[in-house]
Amino acid sequence: MDLPNGAIADALEELGDLYELDGAIVHRVLAYRTAAKTVREASMSVGALAREGRAVQLAGIGKTLQEKIETLQATGTIPAAEKLRAKFPPGLVQITRLPGIGAKRARVLHAELGIDSPDALREAALAQRVREVKGLGAKFEESVLSALDKAAADPQESERRTRLLLPQALELGEALARGLGEGKAGAGATVKVAGSARRMADSVKDIDLIAVTKKPVALAKSLGGLPEIESVGSVSAVGARGRAHAGIGVDLRIGKPKELGSLLQHFTGSGRHNAALRELAVRRGLHVSEHGVLDDRNGRTGTCETEKAVYQRLGLAYIEPELREDRGELEAARLESEPAHPGLPKLVEQKDIKGELHCHTVASDGKNTIGEMAAAARELGYEYVAITDHSATHGFGNDVSPDELRRQIERVRELDGRLEGIRVLAGSEVNVLPDGGLDYEDELLAELDWVVASVHTAFGMGEEAMTARMIRAIEHPLVDAIGHPTGRMIEKREPYAIDLGTVFEAAARTGTLIEINANPDRRDLSDAHARNAVRAGVTIVIDSDAHKTETLTNMRWGIATARRAWLCKQDVANTRPWHELERMRKRNRARRGG
DNA sequence: GCCGTTTTCGGCCCGACTGTTTTCAGTCG
């Protein structure tokens, strides 16, 4: 039986940690961590790939890792990990999680003082034995004790690390940028949100801000005066670091006005994008940093006022922040100028979206009426909106019985008849029952304009059963789209076990759309999976899943995921006008015999 | 351990900060 991708990724990560403790060169350790990330994000079963000897097809997995994964699957363990585990106790890995202690210091502490756990470390620090180690001193001892105290006081703090979902992170970042810019010290300054918030990631670990100004110290000092800031650590002419009341770190970096482009590029990341960018630069005799681009030929650093200039100096087309994840964007940007190569995608935008195909009303668990939702959708400039309340077995006291759905269809038809400026469609978000069946009769479903099928129950079934369940729903001729296909909740709930490769194959074969649910807690499909879906020939639909008029604008977060997935307008079904989309629906395809 | 618009072997980013140091190593992002 094939191991889940998560288990393989965990094993590779552990082995990377162990090799690091063992003093392996950093590039080898990095190779394990990169591979672990690739495995975790893969849509297909990496275990199955490895069994067929094809895991080497994945970027960053070579012959050695292919073999290690094979062995892991066959025997349940990797011999190298077994050996190293005997050498380095698990408590030692815990120590490396403390701030200020990495593999090298953990290794020295283990070798010289026999320290093998956080408790042993505390004991040694209290006895002032840590300062006896060469290269470590009293200050280090102090900071170790304070780090240990912090970890003990709030064990979750170090484990779970507070992350904000993107909407809260962006709101906080923009408030801070505004506060800095509008303050007395902000006169003449430019302040921008960078980091993972700018890349529109699912969640954000800390807020990165960049600023350019002629009075850096005053600006850095002013960070601590902002109402969102709880405390400030270091302050200098190149920036300030602090902590927001929201519980996450804030990192402000300040440069000269002529460095704006380099600074923004550097602090937008991702770290891996930047590392790959610099490697590419070195091959051209150039060195990229937040200060500019150093040219080996004349030893001079050219500054960049715009990000575009940074990429241009390296012979690359401008890369949108959402793409900067080292997922092939540099290669695409390099080939942008070659006519035969597709280059970078022209990413889908909000203005491309023509309609909303998944939202709720008071008929189930929504807060607004059909009329209110339709008017709000029209206000957003949409040409159509499908009302898709939950179905007959949803539970939570908001089931819509078959008779109630018939009345709902009449209400929609009546409204559609008299409402100008937007087409209102009758739909439903139908439950996919554990056996893959739907909870309305086909006759009733056939009366609807739009059917989204979603899993809301029995998340715990095994991968094989869940995949079969989903395939049966996909093969149903009246199902237009699959809603929130993995059931994940960001930072809260793991996706259920499902073989997405098989699901995408079935969706492509049957012409069933797969949703990117735009609820910022879900963003399901994820960026990596959505990209794989489209590569497999699937068409995506982006839905707000709004439960009230205000959250129709959640569409924004789904578009962000689509952009991170490299999706263009034509990859997304609801960029089409209704008359085109209607023809695409598989029930009409079937009728035409296509 | 991976990988190839100089390479199948020899490379594999860059700077700030901290603490321990008389010139640097480790950690972090």
What is the distance in angstroms measured between the alpha-carbon CA of A17 and the sugar C1' of B28?
17
Residue A314 CA to residue A280 CA, distance in Å, equals 8
Q: What is the pLDDT of residues A195-209, one digit of tens each?
A: 999 999 999 999 999
For residue A156, the model assigns a pLDDT of: 61
Nucleotide nearest to A292 (CA to C1'): B14
- Protein-proximal positions, strand B, CB < 7 A: 1-3, 6-7, 11-21, 25-29
Q: Which SS3 state, helix, strand or coil, does residue A101 take?
A: coil
Q: Which SS3 state, helix, strand or coil, does residue A410 take?
A: helix
For residue A157, the model assigns a pLDDT of: 55
For residue A11, the model assigns a pLDDT of: 96
Any atom of strand B under 7 A from CB of A164? Answer: no
- Dmax (CA) of chain A: 84
What is the distance in angstroms measured between the alpha-carbon CA of A136 and the sugar C1' of B26?
11
Residue A270 CA to residue A564 CA, distance in Å, equals 12
Q: Which SS3 state, helix, strand or coil, does residue A144 take?
A: helix
Nucleotide nearest to A15 (CA to C1'): B1
Nucleotide nearest to A65 (CA to C1'): B1
Q: Global pTM?
A: 0.94
DSSP output for A522-574: T-BS-HHHHHHHHHTTPPEEEE--BSSGGGGGGHHHHHHHHHHTT-BGGGBGG
Kindly report which amino acid residue has its CA closest to the C1' atom of nucleotide B3.
Answer: A60
Q: What is the pLDDT of residues A453-466, one digit of tens each?
A: 999 999 999 999 99
**From the first residue on, what is the mean pLDDT of each consecutive set of 10 residues in chain A (594 residues)?**
90 95 92 94 91 93 96 95 94 92 94 94 95 93 93 65 91 97 94 98 96 95 95 92 94 96 96 94 93 91 95 95 95 84 92 98 95 98 97 76 95 97 97 96 97 96 95 98 97 92 97 98 97 97 98 98 98 98 85 51
Nucleotide nearest to A239 (CA to C1'): B16
For residue A159, the model assigns a pLDDT of: 46
Which candidate, A283, A341, A277, places its Cα nearest to that of A312?
A277
What is the distance in angstroms measured between the alpha-carbon CA of A23 and the sugar C1' of B26?
13
Residue A136 burial (CB < 10 Å; 0-12/13-18/19+)? middle
Any atom of strand B under 7 A from CB of A26? Answer: no
- Residues with Cβ < 8 Å from A246, sequence gap 6 or more? A164, A168, A172, A228
Within 10 angstroms of residue A153's Cβ, the number of other Cβ atoms is 8
